Amino acid sequence: MQTMNCRLITSVLLLFHIGTTCVLSTFTNEFVANIEGGPEVADHLAASYGFNNLGELENFPDHYVFHHQGTQKRSIRPSTGDHTAIQHESAVKWIEQQKIRKRVKRDIHWNDPKYDRQWYMNRQNAPNMNLEAAWDMGYTGKGVVVTILDDGIDYTHPDLAKNYDPFASGDYNSMDSDPMPRANYDQSNRHGTRCAGEVAMEAGNKICGVGVAYNASIGGIRMLDGDVTDMVEGTSLSAHRDHIDIYSASWGPEDNGETVDGPGRLAKAAFQEGINTGRNGKGSIFVWASGNGGQARDDCGCDGYTNSIYTISVSSTSERGQAPWYLEECASTLATTYSSGSSKEKKVITTDLEGRCTDEHTGTSASAPLAAGLCALALQANSNMTWRDLQYVIVLTSHNASLEDSDWFLNGAGYPVSHRYGFGLMDAGAMVQLARNWINLPQQRSCEVRFVHGKHIGGKGRLGTFTLDTSSCAQGPTYLEHVQSTVELTFSCRGALSLTLVSPAGTHSRLLARRPMDKKQGSFDSWPFMSTHFWGERAQGVWTLQVANRIFRNWVLTLYGTDSLPSTARPPKRPDDNRDSGRGSATAETNLNVPRVAVPRSLDYSPCHPECFNGCSGPLASDCFKCLHYRDRKTDECVARCPEDGFYNPPALHTRCKACAPTCLSCAGPSSTDCLSCSPPFFLMDSECVQKCDEEFYKDEESATCLPCAPLCRQCEGSATYCLTCKPHALLNAEDHTCQRACATNEYLDVSTCRRCSNVCYTCSGGGDQDCLTCIPGQVLKERTCVEEWVCTNGYYVDWDLHGGDKECLKCHVSCQNCNGQSSSDCTECREGHILQDGACVANCLDGFYKDDYDNCLACSHGCDQCTGEDQCVQCHSEFSLVDGQCKTGCSEGSYEHEGKCLDCHFLCETCMGSGPEACTSCKRMTDDLRYLLEGACVPFCPEGRYEDRDTLTCGECDETCKTCTGSEVNDCLSCYQGFQLNRGSCDEREGSHCEAKCKECVDGFEDRCSSCNASKYLQDFDCVDSCGQGYFTDDSIRKCVRCNPSCKTCDGLSSQDCTSCYENRFLYDDSTCDSHCPYTTYTDRSDWRCKDCHSSCRSCSGPGARACETCDGDLFWSDNQCLSDCPSGTFGDEGEQQCLRCFPTCGTCDGPFSDDCLSCSEGLRLVGSRCQPGDCPARTYQDGDGGCSNCHDTCIACKGPGASDCQRCDYDRFLNEHNECAEECISGYYPDYESNICRPCHISCKTC
């Protein structure tokens, strides 16, 4: 018998089955039995036949799992033996030995050689775009047409040929139907072929890889390999509109961080018409790459293609889920697909020219075609979806679980969204699953609201906020999709501009971030910024636009959306921040922890905590999106008052609690002198935390406070009455350590004898009138003598002694004539030459005020920073111009605006656009010297061929037949050119005239006045010349010399921006204009009269190189004509001034924001908190050469010696000068810093400032 033959195994099987098999089965030692009678019967039968009953089979009543110890675990033969007789029991309906059945997974596994390396489609145990799930449901793009708008596609490629669709293709560079890329030496025209392969590489043909929608039809429009005009873009975007479903574009304006550009008139019309009529009225699908300008810190909000509501703007993420270096962030990005990342991360595999395959496709160029393929799968699942339906499906199914970004936040409808990735990574399986049952959205609704409050100004360096209420949009959308903000802004440096839009639900969407590469001057004129971040939110309410660093002129808010949502598009429930189990909670906690959005009113949630402001994600104080009062920095909870352990209430609501100085346990402000209680080992002494209490105070350990000693103690310890030393004329009791008066109240101790005080004293330290310690009732102590209370005037005030209730006559602050307290802000009357303002005596009124004849400080006029009278402004706010002592928003006639100042026109100009005599736009009417405007200049008479128009003061053109004339008509001639004769005001041709040889044609009657020239000659002023003269340029199309713009000396075009050289004292800038002043970011090079760019670190400069900066760019600080990232030792970076300022003289080093925020101290001082204080001497004293403490000069708050006037800090109305003296005024070349009371040097370019 042959062993390989099939055996007939005859056996009494447990189901009475006798079979013949050609496959060897493997039997186990487990049996399943169907037994009636319940578990007790099953247990009894199992025990009777040697089985163990493992229990009832789940979901199968009366079915039991038996295990038999005597049966092998694995056997090719069924079990035999006595136990098999159980089948004959009446309660046993059947029993079957279990055998292992071979089963295989029906996974897709293509034979394409690079499919296994297409990580973004199929990698296991790592995030991917879930394509195989969509393919498993049968969706492969079949019946959907995708076209790549690019440099053509190689449709002969063996991995594209089967799916190529010639009816979805064309060539709009060569104007034919063949999209084959133009061959060139570097094969740079491969971009379109690579994009096409991502979408529709054929599957299972053993070539290259597999396309996302491998059964979709693929076409190509060749339009990038030539001059790209609006006509080329418009015809490409509208090509075969009824046949093509999806247009994929991986191009746009330059990604250089300084370009603002978008579709032209025809391209815009193509988008609009495609949405309205494409795909039989359901709308063409436009998929767009968001841009590769990340390295230049570009913003795709400045790209009018990705910024359109009609395009699906697609961003990129790398293999690791990180932001690639080229990624651009903006508010219009809808979703993300995979692409290349760092040099060590994988790229995208696709088709290449000449039948090759590449694994080097990169950038957002690779992301957009992947998204187009995913859209094809969704359209196959439901071809009835509109362009808006498809965008909804993308929003609802994209996820952020694998994408790294600290910027994720929940919008007001509960969707997680990011400026980098939109709504997240696209998911093919989820898209087709949702698309299959999608219910079409209602018709799109829109509403436009305009900012109607006139001109508003946002100060330079400040944040301007503007609001619009959309409650009037009754017929507009209820639920939002796209929100568009069309703005008009003026700026001196466009790259410094930033815009943020805040919805009624509290969602913040950054419409435009700062672009450091964009140095352009000018304005945004009706540029539409679009955001998808408000998707699903309610539309009505107050919207806020935050504008930083520019002049704001106008704002139009356009809301797009729908009045109701189908059940398939309901907003998601917000994640429960308090849950501790369930799939995805960790992701939600990690990625969505953003406290700045509010719950939309459309959803029914439980009430927020009472301390929440404008919405929450749960009932707790830590669930608030914004706080009614303050947010606790430690617990992140909203609180009515900040905790007293290290924090204090900030001045503004809805903000985080502010931290106290390090030495404070609790405080009322940020300074080390604002403490309310102290951290160990410090003690509170007059609102300051110190390690050593002042004399006459002791450390109270329980309250961590410096408390006063008993009145007679000079030093005490532990308690007020445990004295260590006594004040003069008091004796220390050695037994109880108390200090007792040595003599009676009105006596003093003279060696060992008590003598009476002077009659004017109540207590005293000697017998003279100047030795009083306290006074009798009705008198006050003034400088150790007792006087009547009314005498305490003229620089003195009455103060109550806190301990004894006695009155004392104390000196006012040095700046006061009379006062009611010791501070510089307690003045009630000032000395001559000073002015009382808000309790302080100042030499001059503060900025924005002026001194009137009665020494009062009155407010300057609107827009004025400094003035000498109500209408006598000398310096305006940055957004105003100074005109005749007044601040105006525009310049008056006779002047023009240049960098925020109104400069005078030339004396002959009435109005002008520059300072020169050839920059006039109208002429000044002068009685005895009329001037007429001729090409920008005001001339005393008009040349031949022109007449003097006394009404408009311009040189009008005569009829071409007139040499001189009185008007523009043909019969207004006064004289005629040679060859013509005057006849009743008209110039008629003389008979028999001929042209000279140099002329091809000449003016009738004038042989030497050419009207056209022979070949190689150019017509200039009725003469034929070989080359054009100065002030003219050659127009080859008409063979004429055309006069340059009056601002140009030489030129190559008619515009003022076509200059090639300039007249004296005018400078040529990069945009080919001649100006009397170089733009802000350039300097004047007088060697060639050109405006040249400053060094990259400078914002403005006086010359080339890094050491000629006048102001600085970005986060740099100005110091000694350089822009530095780190300030030199002894200085700190002031972010407001954007320059390195000198540390306070007491500091060795400091870090701001104030000059006396010390990090280390000058010699002889010690650091207490962030302040440097004298080592041993009290305040307002210094250690002299004898080791004693001497008083500082009256004007010093602190001094260091060796003299009393060697000040370190000055009093309120004095300023520390370069000689360390406290002066009333700063000398020329310095300006007063009122914050630190220091004379700071002016900029090097200023004589005074």
The tens digit of pLDDT for each residue in 701-714 reads 888 899 999 888 99
Q: How far is CA 548 from CA 297, 519, 625, 878, in A?
A: 18, 16, 23, 14
835-844: average pLDDT: 80
Distance CA 1200, CA 1177 (A): 10
DSSP string, 390-407: HHHHHHHH-B-TT---TT
Q: Residue 12 pLDDT > 50, yes or no? A: no
Q: What pLDDT band is residue 586 in, cutting at 50, 70 and 90?
A: very low
Q: Mean pLDDT check: name the lowest of 589-593, 889-893, 1102-1106.
A: 589-593
Distance CA 683, CA 704 (A): 5
801 assigned to active site: no
Q: Mean pLDDT check: name the lowest of 78-92, 405-419, 448-462.
A: 448-462
193-205: average pLDDT: 95
Residue at token pair 């924005």: 848
Of the candidates 794, 765, 763, 790, the one whose C-alpha atom is nearest the C-alpha of residue 779 is 790
pLDDT for the residue 587: 34
- What residue segments make up the domains of the chain, in order of their start? 26-100, 126-436, 445-576+588-623, 717-829, 844-887, 1126-1241
What's the CATH fold of domain 445-576+588-623?
Answer: Jelly Rolls (2.60.120)
pLDDT for the residue 203: 94
Q: Residue 1105 pLDDT > 60, yes or no? A: yes
156-161: average pLDDT: 94
Q: Mean pLDDT check: name the lowest of 81-90, 652-661, 949-958.
A: 652-661
pLDDT tens-digit series, residues 442-497: 999 999 998 865 444 444 445 678 889 898 888 899 899 999 999 988 777 788 78
pLDDT tens-digit series, residues 1162-1193: 776 777 767 777 666 777 777 777 667 788 88
Higher-confidence residue: 453 or 364? Answer: 364
pLDDT tens-digit series, residues 1138-1170: 888 888 877 888 887 777 778 888 776 777 767
Q: What pLDDT band is residue 993 in, cutting at 50, 70 and 90?
A: low
Higher-confidence residue: 747 or 197? Answer: 197
996-1013: average pLDDT: 78
pLDDT tens-digit series, residues 86-124: 888 889 999 998 988 877 655 567 889 999 899 999 887
Distance CA 250, CA 294 (A): 16
618-623: average pLDDT: 78
User: CB under 8 Å to 115, separation ≥6 — which residues?
Assistant: 121, 122, 209, 210
Q: How far is CA 444 from CA 310, 537, 561, 772, in A?
A: 12, 15, 6, 91
Please report, to the nearest 10 degrees, the dihedral formed by the alpha carbons of residues 996, 997, 1002, 1007 taken in order.
0
270-284: average pLDDT: 95
Q: Residue 4 pLDDT > 50, yes or no? A: no
Q: Does domain 126-436 have CATH number 3.40.50.200?
A: yes
pLDDT tens-digit series, residues 1046-1067: 778 889 887 778 888 888 777 8
pLDDT for the residue 300: 94
Distance CA 98, CA 25 (A): 10
Q: Residue 841 pLDDT > 80, yes or no? A: yes
**Mean of per-residue pLDDT scores for the chain:** 83
pLDDT for the residue 20: 35
Does this model's pTM top 0.85? My answer is no
pLDDT tens-digit series, residues 529-558: 999 999 999 898 999 998 876 667 789 999
Q: What pLDDT band is residue 154 in, cutting at 50, 70 and 90?
A: very high
Q: What pLDDT band is residue 209 in, cutting at 50, 70 and 90?
A: very high
Catalytic residue among 68, 79, 112, 150: 150
pLDDT for the residue 1211: 74
Q: What pLDDT band is residue 13 in, cutting at 50, 70 and 90?
A: very low
Proportion of the chain above pLDDT 70, given as a percent:
89
Q: Residue 562 pLDDT > 70, yes or no? A: yes
pLDDT for the residue 801: 62
Q: Is 363 exposed, middle or buried (0-12, 13-18, 19+ CB in 10 A)?
A: buried
Cβ-contact 1035, 1045 below 8 angstroms: no
Q: Mean pLDDT check: name the lowest of 279-293, 721-735, 792-806, 1010-1024.
A: 792-806
Of the candidates 192, 150, 153, 114, the one whose C-alpha atom is nearest the C-alpha of residue 349 is 114
Please list the alpha-helical segments (H only) found in 336-406: 363-381, 387-397
pLDDT for the residue 988: 79
Distance CA 134, CA 429 (A): 4
pLDDT tens-digit series, residues 892-907: 788 887 766 778 888 8
Q: Does domain 1126-1241 have CATH number 2.10.220?
A: yes
Distance CA 678, CA 1213 (A): 32
1208-1234: average pLDDT: 83
908-932: average pLDDT: 86
Proportion of the chain above pLDDT 90, given as a percent:
29
Which span out of 80-84, 185-189, 377-381, 628-632 was modeled with the highest average pLDDT? 377-381
Which span out of 65-69, 533-537, 786-790, 1056-1060 was modeled with the highest average pLDDT? 533-537
Higher-confidence residue: 659 or 744? Answer: 659
- Which residues is 1082 bridged to in the sheet? 1093
Q: Residue 612 pLDDT > 90, yes or no? A: no
Catalytic residue among 250, 284, 318, 365: 365
Q: Residue 917 pLDDT > 60, yes or no? A: yes
329-351: average pLDDT: 91
Distance CA 1209, CA 1 (A): 116
109 assigned to active site: no
pLDDT for the residue 134: 94
Q: Residue 3 pLDDT > 70, yes or no? A: no
Instruction: Tell me whether the CATH fold assigned to 717-829 matches the one assigned to 1126-1241.
Output: yes
Joined tokens for residue 22: 């050609």
918-927: average pLDDT: 88
Q: Residue 585 pLDDT > 60, yes or no? A: no
Q: Residues 934, 937, 940, CA angle at the centre, nearest 5°?
A: 75
pLDDT for the residue 1145: 78
Q: Residue 22 pLDDT > 50, yes or no? A: no
Cβ-contact 1018, 992 below 8 angstroms: no
26-100 to CATH, choices 3.30.420.40, 3.90.226.10, 3.40.50.1240, 3.30.70.850: 3.30.70.850
Alpha carbon 631 to chain centroid distance?
23
pLDDT tens-digit series, residues 680-695: 889 998 888 999 999 9
Higher-confidence residue: 981 or 912? Answer: 912
Residue at token pair 């089963």: 103
pLDDT for the residue 979: 65
Q: Residue 309 pLDDT > 80, yes or no? A: yes
365 assigned to active site: yes
CATH number of the domain at 717-829, please? 2.10.220
Higher-confidence residue: 589 or 1244? Answer: 1244
860-874: average pLDDT: 83
Distance CA 364, CA 1156 (A): 50
Catalytic residue among 83, 157, 191, 729: 191
Amino acid identity of residue 1088, one-letter, is D
